[in-house]
Amino acid sequence: MIAEKIGFLGLGSMGAPMARNLLNSGLAVTVYNRTRTHAETLSLDGAEIADTPAGAIVEGGIAITMLAHDAALEAVTLGPDGILEKLGKGGLHISMSTVSPETSKKLAALHAANGSLFLSAPVFGRPEAAAAKKLWICQSGSGEAKQRAEAILDILGQGIHDFGDDPGAANVVKLSGNFMILAAIESMAEAQALAEKNGIDRAALASFFGQTIFSCPIYQNYGRTLAERAYEPAGFKLALGMKDVRLVRDVAEAAMVAMPLADLLHARLLTSLAKKRGNLDWTAIELVTAEDAALRSMTAAN
């Protein structure tokens, strides 16, 4: 039995089911979310509710953050009533957000100076995978942080993959994976447009490839979503996809790595945002392809 006092900060579509799984495993969890109503739904599962980030944790305890972007992560860590000073000596911050590797390195250094540990542990999986404890977790950081976090991460995911001591390494892996997923979405969108223009059913095409040469969850699940244009409700909002692609391009530029596909995906996302599709699922970049191919009117409802 894990006796640690856990504070879980960030209860969006991913964070809420993750926090619920910890509660259902019998752990003592205090939750914080900027919008309090999201936290209140977890009180039925036994969560305590904090009014501030610092209020969600105890000195020397564990803080888990699952937030939308770098600014939110820095705000709950370093801002007024943030967790950094409260966590203190012997504390552990498990950052599961998709953020810049530089942000993780910065926070790791600040935690070390404060006597606490920091572990990057971003995840792969949609909200339904989070609810089913089927997330794939990447981690990087000190051995001490990994050892302490292991039992908790085992509750949340189906596997933990280690990428060394550099706290930013797991974030690079996460960004690389999200880039590959979005590139696959773009290629499927173009292939489905090609098929549809030649009289082939989109769903039949997606089903065929998902069962044969592209028999894996990314092509099966996203292929079906694209074929059905099931972009609401969003499992991962298009606006957040743009955030990730911006981070990919920033990391690539810093490392002097040309990524022309990332540039194309940035353009697709930017056009989609201009068409006010930011709250749709990120697979909705397909609508731009469909419009370019005259398969869908540009004046159709978003």
Can you spell out the DSSP letters for 40-62?
Answer: HGGGGGT-EE-SSTGGG--TTSE
Distance from C-alpha of 110 to C-alpha of 129, rounded to nearest angstrom: 32
Give residue 296's pLDDT: 85
Alpha-helical (H) ranges within the chain are 15-24, 36-40, 70-78, 83-87, 101-113, 127-131, 143-156, 169-197, 202-211, 217-228, 238-255, 260-274, 286-292
Predicted model pTM: 0.95
Distance from C-alpha of 73 to C-alpha of 40, rounded to nearest angstrom: 21
The CATH architecture one would assign to domain 171-292 is: Orthogonal Bundle (1.10)
**List 5, 174, 237, 243, catalytic entry:** 174
Distance from C-alpha of 57 to C-alpha of 81, rounded to nearest angstrom: 11
Asked about 134 being catalytic, the answer comes back as: no
| Tokens at 161, concatenated | 């993959």
Residues of the chain with CATH 3.40.50.720: 6-165
- The residues, ordered by sequence, that sit 6+ positions from 184 with a Cβ below 8 Å of its Cβ are 218, 219, 222
Residues of the chain with CATH 1.10.1040.10: 171-292
Beta strands in the chain (DSSP E): 6-9, 29-32, 48-49, 62-65, 92-95, 117-120, 123-124, 135-141, 157-162
Is residue 23 within 8 A of residue 42, CB to CB? The reply is yes
| Tokens at 37, concatenated | 């109503």
| Tokens at 203, concatenated | 């769903």
Phi, psi of 66 (to 5 degrees): -135, 85
Phi, psi of 212 (to 5 degrees): -120, -105
Distance from C-alpha of 132 to C-alpha of 193, rounded to nearest angstrom: 33
**Dihedral (C-alpha) 160, 164, 165, 169: value to the nearest 10 degrees?**
-90
| Tokens at 113, concatenated | 């100076």
- The residues, ordered by sequence, that sit 6+ positions from 215 with a Cβ below 8 Å of its Cβ are none
Distance from C-alpha of 32 to C-alpha of 47, rounded to nearest angstrom: 10
- Pick from 27, 23, 31: which is nearest to 2 by CA? 27
Distance from C-alpha of 138 to C-alpha of 29, rounded to nearest angstrom: 23
Q: Is 260 exposed, middle or buried (0-12, 13-18, 19+ CB in 10 A)?
A: exposed
- Pick from 235, 239, 222: which is nearest to 279 by CA? 239
Class level of CATH domain 6-165? alpha beta
Give residue 1's pLDDT: 55
Give residue 302's pLDDT: 56
Which residues are registered as beta bridge partners of 140?
A: 120
Q: Which residues in the chain come in under a pLDDT of 70?
A: 1, 3, 297-302
Distance from C-alpha of 89 to C-alpha of 118, rounded to nearest angstrom: 12
C-alpha 158: how far from chain center? 16
Give residue 2's pLDDT: 74
Give residue 298's pLDDT: 54
